[in-house]
């Protein structure tokens, strides 16, 4: 693959490399790839479900010593951007990396040509994005994958060029001017042909949340689902919740979709008990986290985003 990494947006990058469509999943949510700080799957761990060009984005650069691959083939490289010395690992428990790569991994991605999702190459950001903007009508031409707020599409070569939009998850506000100004429309899941004032005129896009279709706060937002297939009752969250039981959702969530930001999920009220941190994407909760969530809040840098402590 020709490494189609887009220029990162500084504000989004601090949250979860959102504009580049990279994803994060804590190991407790059964991520396809889990990197561990110590041999034998011990110490701190980082779970990935999408390409990540810089492990440094989550404080895990040059830390991995063992790897668990749950599905697919994964390429691990010693330099950012999938460069340098690279190793491809298939499904299995790799209790210790080769000496030359121990504490040397700086980027990871699904291996080209080994689909993890039927019908789509997993290492193509367009295949993972919740929103794809197309240069031409009919969903043709260069596609820009979007996984978070983009205040200036011009910085990604798509200013005043968007003719069609595919929304796969969530609701998104598309605006004529940069900075989410000017005429705006909100698009939900589906394939949309732009017309009128927004045709080839859009300059910014961001996720919106809930029935009010208000922009997400800087720390993002999420939806909890009752069932593991993202069905049943739903609870939308944009602020810290010390006890989900007060909202009728205590010990009820089996899946979560993080729309933007990094969020900490804990089994006990007041953010105690076992906790995991998840970034943008759809995550099925398993093990001790399934139907056990009692509190949730935005994850701050000092709480170790993207990390979990292995018991």
Q: Does residue 234 register a pLDDT over 60?
A: yes
Encoded tokens for 287: 């093990």
- Please report, for residues 23, 162, 183, 228, 257, the alpha-carbon distance to residue 205 in angstroms, rounded to integers and kept in the order given: 19, 11, 12, 29, 19
Asked which of 215, 247, 271 is the last residue of a domain, the reply is: 215
Same domain for 111 and 28: yes
Mention every residue, 6+ apart, whose C-beta is less than 8 A from residue 120: 127
Look up the domain containing 235 and give its range: 221-309
**Residue range 39-60: mean pLDDT, rounded:** 84
Same domain for 148 and 162: yes
**Residue range 228-242: mean pLDDT, rounded:** 85
In a domain, 82, yes or no: yes
Same domain for 194 and 248: no
Q: Which of 58-72, 125-139, 277-291 is the least confident region?
A: 125-139
Cβ count within 10 A of residue 47:
27
Contact present, 256 and 278 (Cβ < 8 Å): yes
Rounded to 5 degrees, φ, ψ at 45 are -140, 150
Same domain for 225 and 207: no
Count of residues for the chain? 311
More confident residue, 142 or 96: 96
pLDDT tens digits, 164-176: 998 877 788 899 9
Same domain for 108 and 24: yes
Encoded tokens for 155: 């910085």
Same domain for 140 and 111: no
pTM for this model (two decimals) = 0.46
In a domain, 66, yes or no: yes
Position 18 scores a pLDDT of 26
Q: How many domains does the chain have?
A: 3
Same domain for 247 and 206: no
Asked which of 178, 197, 215 is the last residue of a domain, the reply is: 215
Same domain for 132 and 106: no
Q: Does residue 255 register a pLDDT over 70?
A: yes
pLDDT tens digits, 110-134: 875 433 333 333 445 666 677 899 9
In a domain, 6, yes or no: no
109/266 Cα distance (integer angstroms): 28
The CATH number of whichever domain residue 66 belongs to comes to 2.60.20.10
Position 4 scores a pLDDT of 33
**Residue range 299-310: mean pLDDT, rounded:** 45
DSSP string, 91-134: SEEE-S--GGGTT---EEEEPTT--SBTTB-TT-HHHH-SEEEE
- Angle 291-293-298 (CA atoms, 0-180°, nearest 5)? 145
Same domain for 269 and 230: yes
Position 16 scores a pLDDT of 30
Give the whole-number percent of the chain exceeding pLDDT 70.
Answer: 79
In a domain, 53, yes or no: yes
Q: Which of 38-42, 43-47, 300-304 is the least confident region?
A: 300-304
Question: In which residue are the tokens 């804590």 written?
Answer: 26
In a domain, 179, yes or no: yes
134/139 Cα distance (integer angstroms): 6
Same domain for 273 and 177: no
282/11 Cα distance (integer angstroms): 22
pLDDT tens digits, 83-109: 777 777 878 888 888 776 789 999 888
In a domain, 27, yes or no: yes
In a domain, 3, yes or no: no
Same domain for 140 and 112: no
Same domain for 97 and 15: yes
More confident residue, 273 or 211: 273
**Residue range 38-54: mean pLDDT, rounded:** 85
Mention every residue, 6+ apart, whose C-beta is less than 8 A from residue 246: none
In a domain, 4, yes or no: no
Asked which of 215, 249, 272 is the last residue of a domain, the reply is: 215
């Amino acid at each position: 693959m020709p490494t189609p990494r887009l220029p990162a947006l500084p504000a989004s990058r601090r949250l979860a490399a959102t504009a580049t469509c990279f994803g994060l999943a804590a190991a407790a949510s059964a991520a396809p790839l889990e990197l561990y700080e110590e041999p034998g799957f011990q110490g701190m761990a980082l779970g990935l479900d999408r390409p990540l060009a810089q492990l440094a984005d989550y404080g895990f650069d040059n830390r991995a010593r063992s790897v668990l691959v749950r599905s697919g083939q994964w390429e691990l490289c010693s330099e950012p951007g999938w460069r340098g010395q690279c190793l491809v690992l298939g499904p299995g428990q790799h209790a210790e990396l080769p000496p030359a790569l121990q504490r040397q991994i700086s980027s990871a991605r699904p291996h080209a040509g080994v689909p993890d999702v039927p019908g789509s190459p997993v290492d193509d950001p367009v295949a993972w994005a919740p929103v794809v903007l197309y240069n031409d009508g009919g969903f043709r031409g260069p596609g820009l994958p979007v996984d978070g707020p983009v205040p200036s599409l011009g910085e990604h070569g798509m200013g005043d060029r968007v003719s069609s939009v595919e929304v796969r998850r969530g609701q998104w506000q598309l605006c004529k001017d940069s900075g989410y100004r000017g005429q705006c429309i909100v698009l939900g899941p589906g394939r949309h042909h732009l017309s009128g004032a927004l045709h080839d005129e859009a300059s910014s896009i961001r996720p919106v949340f809930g029935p009010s279709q208000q922009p997400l706060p800087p720390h993002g937002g999420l939806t909890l689902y009752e069932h593991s297939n993202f069905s049943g009752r739903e609870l939308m969250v944009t602020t810290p919740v010390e006890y989900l039981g007060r909202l009728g959702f205590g010990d009820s969530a089996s899946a979560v979709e993080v729309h933007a930001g990094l969020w900490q999920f804990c089994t006990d009220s007041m953010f105690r008990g076992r906790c995991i941190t998840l970034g943008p994407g759809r995550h099925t909760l398993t093990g001790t986290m399934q139907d056990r969530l009692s509190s949730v809040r935005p994850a701050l840098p000092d709480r170790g985003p993207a990390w979990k402590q292995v018991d």
